[in-house]
Amino acid sequence: MTAQTRNPFDARARDWDTRPISRQLADVPPRLLARLPLTGGEHVLDFGAGTGLLAAAIAPHAASVTALDTSAGMLQVLREKGLPNVQTLQQDIHDGLPRRYDAIVSCMALHHVADLPALLRAFAHALAPGGRVALVDLYAEDGSFHGDNAAKGVHHLGFEPARLQRQAEDAGLADVGFEEIARIQRESRAYPLFLMTGRRAEP
Ligand SMILES: C[S@@+](CC[C@H](N)C(=O)[O-])C[C@H]1O[C@@H](n2cnc3c(N)ncnc32)[C@H](O)[C@@H]1O
């Protein structure tokens, strides 16, 4: 999907922050920050930032947060929050990035990207020396989380950590680790989410 293509998230942007699932994800930013200590001087990229639920929590602890997303609607809601050190960047991650970052974070966006190895290579390439990643998404599930996966632009029914770790290491990341960070309750089922941490492999 390019920034020019109609993005299915545009129509969902206004109500995004009050969705039950967004409320259930409220614990993710502080838990992620506990595993990604920041000193206040870092430039951080939030991939698939949406309305900035993660970016807003990170911004007070960083020099800047670049909120990258293809959805104009989601980024408009984020801009209306008036966060002084959060810049929006409406583009596809595969179209190249304007600079390098000390950290790349993401919440629930990986499963929307078809070519995951290319995404991980883009992350590794965009990290400054010593740069780290902290990425949150679903553990492998049976497709019931989104239900209508094709209509919602879902390319992966969650992820197996061992495979994702191999892909991340092949892409140029090191010290890759996983832990459960949250669970989303939908009807009678609980869907666990992982936090994947890692750093740019040194040459
Ligand atoms: C499920 S939403 C998550 C939004 C936010 N991180 C949150 O947790 O509320 C996924 C977001 O990823 C964005 N996205 C999907 N593929 C993308 C791509 N290739 N480049 C940039 N953004 C993308 C979508 O537009 C959408 O806003």
| Residue of 71, 146, 155, 184 to mutate, ligand 1, most atoms within 8 A of C-beta | 71
**CB count in 10 Å sphere of residue 175:** 12
Q: Please give the distance, rounded to the nearest whole angstrom, from the Cα atom of residue 189 to the centre of ligand 1.
A: 24
The whole-number pLDDT of residue 5 equals 54
Model pLDDT for residues 90-135, shown as the tens digit of each residue: 999 999 999 999 999 999 999 999 999 999 999 999 999 999 999 9
User: What's the domain range around 190?
Assistant: 10-200
Residue 2 is assigned to a structural domain of this protein? no
Q: How far apart are CA 28 and CA 33, in angstroms?
A: 9
The whole-number pLDDT of residue 1 equals 47
Whether the predicted pLDDT of 67 surpasses 80? yes
Q: How confident is the model at residue 89 (pLDDT cuts 50, 70, 90)?
A: very high
pTM summary value: 0.96
Atom of ligand 1 nearest to the CA of 53: 9
Residue 25 is assigned to a structural domain of this protein? yes
Indicate the average pLDDT of the chain: 95
Q: Which CATH number does the domain housing residue 132 bear? A: 3.40.50.150
Number of domains in the chain: 1
**DSSP percent split of the chain into helix, strand, coil, nearest 5:** 35, 30, 35
- Closest residue by CA, ligand 1 atom 19: 92
Model pLDDT for residues 175-197, shown as the tens digit of each residue: 999 999 999 999 889 999 999 99
Whether the predicted pLDDT of 12 surpasses 60? yes
Closest CA to 153 of 61, 41, 69: 69
Q: Kindly provide the residue ranges of all beta strands, DSSP E only, lying in 4-146, ordered along the sequence.
A: 43-47, 64-69, 86-90, 101-107, 127-138
Answer yes or no: is the C-beta of 54 below 6 A from any ligand 1 atom.
Answer: yes
